[in-house]
Amino acid sequence: DVQLVESGGGLVKPGGSLRLSCAASGFTFSSYNMHWVRQAPGKGLQWVSSISGSSSHIYYADSLTGRFTMSRDNTINALYLQMNSLRAEDTAVYYCARQYVNTLWDAFDIWGHGTMVTVSS
Amino acid sequence: DIQMTQSPSSLSASVGDRVTITCRASQSISTYLNWYQHKPGKAPKLLIYAASSLQSGVPSKFSGTGSGTEFTLTISGLQPEDFATYYCQQSYNTPQTFGQGTKVEIK
């Protein structure tokens, strides 16, 4: 089965760091762009960052101001999000998602169930 | 960034009803518009891609229309499992922004 499983969430103090992981299975991981999307409590979905299959292109939401770093390891089908200088407003469920792309359309066709990050003292 | 605006933010409907959700983009995005269903504690699910194409395995009661800046998602014959939050998303460029969501609740 095609599957994404996030891990690494938890409770962290403001200013702290956390590294999220996403394990992919059931598809050729290196062929796909991957994304992180988050949902703060009571809020909607917010795109966080993306990485191309070869890691040659990485993009971040402007609001992250260099605090987050996305990476991937295609040898073990893993995606990462290193989050530094965490703030209360980073509290959210973080989802990893696969981007399906063809010449006519693209969309996030596979999502994980998410991992909760709570930033609080 | 392209802003996506959904309306309404929430709606109440009965089982069997037909509901329509609107999504507007701040600039033309052709048909680079996707719709997702999200239930609490679950992974978001792709329903419609390219504005009007049904994702594999999604029932035909879901349909999408539109191009340019205005799009709609229609759900025919609401069932209990359809009560969820629905999001539009533009995939025209990065960042791939989402609408704020429309929560469909039971009346």
Residue of B33, B10, B32 lying closest to B21 (CA atoms): B10
With a cut of 90, say whether residue A63 has pLDDT above it.
no
Min distance A95 CA to chain B CA atoms (Å): 8
Q: Which residues of B touch A105 (CB under 8 A)?
A: 31-32, 49-50, 53, 91
Confidence of residue A103 (pLDDT cuts 50, 70, 90): confident
Res A65: pLDDT: 72
pLDDT digits (tens, 9 = 90+) for B8-25: 999 999 999 999 999 999
Res A104: pLDDT: 86
With a cut of 80, say whether residue A18 has pLDDT above it.
yes
User: If you average pLDDT over every residue of chain B, what do you get?
Assistant: 97
Query: Which tokens is A16 given?
Result: 């702290």
pLDDT digits (tens, 9 = 90+) for B43-79: 999 999 999 999 999 999 999 999 999 999 999 999 9
Best of B10, B46, B55 to disrupt the A interface (most A CBs within 10 Å) is B46
Q: Which residues of A touch B5 (CB under 8 A)?
A: none
CB contact under 8 A, A47 and B96: yes
Name residue, tokens 């992919």: A24
Residue of B93, B38, B24 lying closest to A39 (CA atoms): B38
Res B76: pLDDT: 96
pLDDT digits (tens, 9 = 90+) for A86-97: 999 999 999 999
Confidence of residue B107 (pLDDT cuts 50, 70, 90): confident
For residues B93, B99, B100, B104, the Cα torsion angle rounded to the nearest 10 degrees is -150
Q: What is the mean pLDDT of the segment spanning B89-104?
A: 96
Res A59: pLDDT: 95
Q: Which parts of A8-121 are beta strand (E)? A: 10-12, 18-25, 33-39, 45-51, 58-60, 68-73, 78-83, 92-101, 106-111, 115-119
